[in-house]
Amino acid sequence: MNIFGYNRIMIVGNNGSGKSFLAKKLALIAELPLVHLDIEFWRPNWGMPSKDEWKKGNMELILKKMDY
């Protein structure tokens, strides 16, 4: 049961500010899936996806992780 009433929470901040720590704790407490966009975005050797690849990947990610 999601105690916050939200199905998504976005966390933004500088490097080393504790975003991942906070996200892990919130995901556990709120019973929400945790998605790290850095992991989804970057390709091997820090390659970047094309705009179309990123859009397609985002849609697949949303549908998969958010149970839509």
Give this prediction's pTM. 0.63
**32-43, pLDDT tens digit by residue?**
888 888 888 888
Give the residues across from 37 on adjacent strands. Answer: none
Question: How much is the pLDDT for 21?
Answer: 96
Side-chain-side CA neighbours of residue 15 (13 Å)? 1
Task: Tell me the average pLDDT across 43-61.
Answer: 87
pLDDT band at 68 (very low <50, low <70, confident <90, very high): very low
